[in-house]
């Protein structure tokens, strides 16, 4: 009886393509975010959201006046 040794070669393909999302600020700018909280520098989409954010997060802080675009 003949013994046959079969060597199975398995090719492993290591695909290391990780798409890191760089520049979240850029994406935020694309989304239309143009304001930031004067207290915590958090990015705010619009003035209405800023007012809500100020009331929720910084109730003691003065809400800035609405910018005239």
Residues that bind Zn ion (CB under 5 A): 37, 39-40, 42, 57
Comparing CB distances to Zn ion, the nearer of 31 and 40 is: 40
| 29/57 with CB nearer Zn ion | 57
For the bound state, the minimum distance from the C-beta of residue 53 to Zn ion, rounded and expressed in Å, comes to 5
Q: What are phi and psi of 10, to 5 degrees?
A: -105, 125
Which of 16, 46 has the CB closer to Zn ion? 46
Which residues are 36's β-sheet partners? 43
Integer CA distances (angstroms), 45 to 15, 23, 31, 52, 66, in order: 37, 17, 8, 11, 13
């Amino acid at each position: 009886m003949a013994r046959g040794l079969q060597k199975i070669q398995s090719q492993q393909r290591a695909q290391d393509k990780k798409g890191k999302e760089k520049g979240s600020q850029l994406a935020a700018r694309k989304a239309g975010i143009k304001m930031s909280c004067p207290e915590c520098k958090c990015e705010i989409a619009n003035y209405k959201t800023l007012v809500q954010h100020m009331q929720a997060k910084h109730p003691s802080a003065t809400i800035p006046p609405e910018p005239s675009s």
